[in-house]
Amino acid sequence: MRDQTLAIHAGYKKDEQGTMAVPIYQTTAYEFRDADHAANLFALKELGNIYTRLMNPTTDVFEKRFAALEGGAAGVGTASGMAAIFYAIANVAEAGDNIIVAKQVYGGTTTLTGHTIKRFGIETRYFDVNNPSELEALIDEKSKLILFESITNPSIDVPDFEAIVAIADRHGVLSCVDNTVATPILCKPLALGCDLTVHSASKYTTGQGLAIGGIIVERENLVEKIKDNARYAHFNEPDQSYHGLVYSDLPLPLFTLRARLALLRDLGAAPSPFNSWLYIQGLETLPLRMRQHSSSALAIAEFLENHPRVKKVNYPGLPSDKNYHLAQKYLRDGNSGLLSFEVEDLESAKRIANATEIFKLVVNIGDSKSIITHPASTTHQQLSAQELIDAGVPAGLIRLSVGLEDTGDLIADLKRAFEY
């Protein structure tokens, strides 16, 4: 089935009520048939509902539908995109290990990897996403994950997936793509050979800025890469916290299962059923919306490219953009709604951001409502001068998240703001 059909039907089997819309199972816990049923569920001899921190029928539809769109084996929902990224790391790395992360990532990912997990003893090594060959020198026997974004936020780079995957596979290291900006509609990292994707569902998934959430998706047959791989010994040895379970022996998608059974159990950032229901509503229109976001963003990028005050426009849909050929190769049906452009300096950028009326000054992306952000003074404020340069965020950079308003109105709004 194609995306537009999966987005509307995947993962939902109606119960005896026959409800067309997926119900919201707003519950904390589930009654067991008897003590043996409970014991079987806990022992994974039978799969079923135990407690909403671990699973929920509404969240289950969201996870299955999202995984189907990604072309993955399974997904596990989380309470935020940051929780999804943290769990993807925590599922493989422990004190003494390292992960390798693109320099060009969302500011929260930079602070998580550069500061917070450092305090847990996990080292982060950074590579330039535009130069994957840097990875070779960074990987050693303690490297557990290579993490990068499919369209980087806010520098709007598109990585060379094939080059990164080839190096990751040669060393037997898991690759993980934050596919938030591209969404599974415009980019299919798992089909490109990546092992995992993570998402902030807070963005295009809800599509209207309605809720905070995230998801991790794993590819089919991931066990082949993890089984007997010394890097991932904890997937191959008995888990003492789960009465000796060996994840790589199970006939189930093992990465998301461990994230659920160990990390959601112990760390607890589970999505609320109501939020999962919102993501399901959003997914139904995701393919349509991504096409519209993309075509409007391209028209705005073309307008900006011809504006005398604009030094540079970053949008991979523009033939002049350095990522155009990679985008043509790895993205499909559009280049998403995110673009950035550079004006003279910090003060000019602030003045423009203050002057737009339809573009609202907000730190978010992927909303139906258009958004203007000045990263250097907001999302990336905590980054040092060097980190700002590494993340591709000059002081005069403005980021736009192009919404679903009329494209002509949006261009007129920017035109006015430049004259202000």
Residues that bind ligand PLP (CB under 6 A): 80-82, 106, 108, 149, 153, 178, 180-181, 200, 202, 212, 214, 365
With contact defined as beta carbons under 8 Å apart, do 370 and 402 qualify?
yes
Which of residues 12 and 277 has its CB atom nearest to ligand PLP in the complex?
A: 277
Which of residues 153 and 370 has its CB atom nearest to ligand PLP in the complex?
A: 153
Least distance between ligand PLP and beta carbon 108 (Å): 5
Length of the chain (residues): 420
Half-sphere exposure of 224 (CA within 13 A, CB side): 5
Which of residues 190 and 212 has its CB atom nearest to ligand PLP in the complex?
A: 212
Which of residues 179 and 356 has its CB atom nearest to ligand PLP in the complex?
A: 179
Least distance between ligand PLP and beta carbon 200 (Å): 3
Which of residues 41 and 177 has its CB atom nearest to ligand PLP in the complex?
A: 177
* Residues 6 or more apart whose Cβ sits within 8 Å of residue 25: 56, 57, 58, 273
The Cα–Cα gap between 392 and 397 comes to: 9
Least distance between ligand PLP and beta carbon 327 (Å): 17
The Cα–Cα gap between 392 and 252 comes to: 40
Least distance between ligand PLP and beta carbon 212 (Å): 5
Least distance between ligand PLP and beta carbon 338 (Å): 9
With contact defined as beta carbons under 8 Å apart, do 127 and 103 qualify?
yes
With contact defined as beta carbons under 8 Å apart, do 337 and 297 qualify?
yes
Least distance between ligand PLP and beta carbon 115 (Å): 16
Least distance between ligand PLP and beta carbon 220 (Å): 24
Which of residues 115 and 309 has its CB atom nearest to ligand PLP in the complex?
A: 115
The Cα–Cα gap between 166 and 269 comes to: 33
With contact defined as beta carbons under 8 Å apart, do 167 and 135 qualify?
yes
Q: Is the dihedral of CA 392, 356, 282, 79 positive or negative?
A: positive
Which of residues 216 and 417 has its CB atom nearest to ligand PLP in the complex?
A: 216
Least distance between ligand PLP and beta carbon 40 (Å): 35
Which of residues 180 and 197 has its CB atom nearest to ligand PLP in the complex?
A: 180
Strand partners, 360: 371
The Cα–Cα gap between 365 and 201 comes to: 11
For ligand PLP, which residue has the nearest CB?
A: 81
Least distance between ligand PLP and beta carbon 148 (Å): 11
The 3-state DSSP class for residue 254 equals helix
Which of residues 81 and 403 has its CB atom nearest to ligand PLP in the complex?
A: 81
- Of 139, 140, 100, 134, the C-alpha closest to 117 is 100
Cα distance from N-terminal residue to C-terminal residue, the chain: 49
Task: Please report, as a single letter, which amino acid is at residue 196.
Answer: L
- Helix spans in 71-133 (H): 81-90, 107-111
Query: Tokens for 50?
Result: 């135990």
The Cα–Cα gap between 19 and 300 comes to: 41
CA distances (Å), origin 395, targets 130, 345, 354, 417? 21, 6, 15, 18
Which of residues 129 and 365 has its CB atom nearest to ligand PLP in the complex?
A: 365
Least distance between ligand PLP and beta carbon 182 (Å): 10
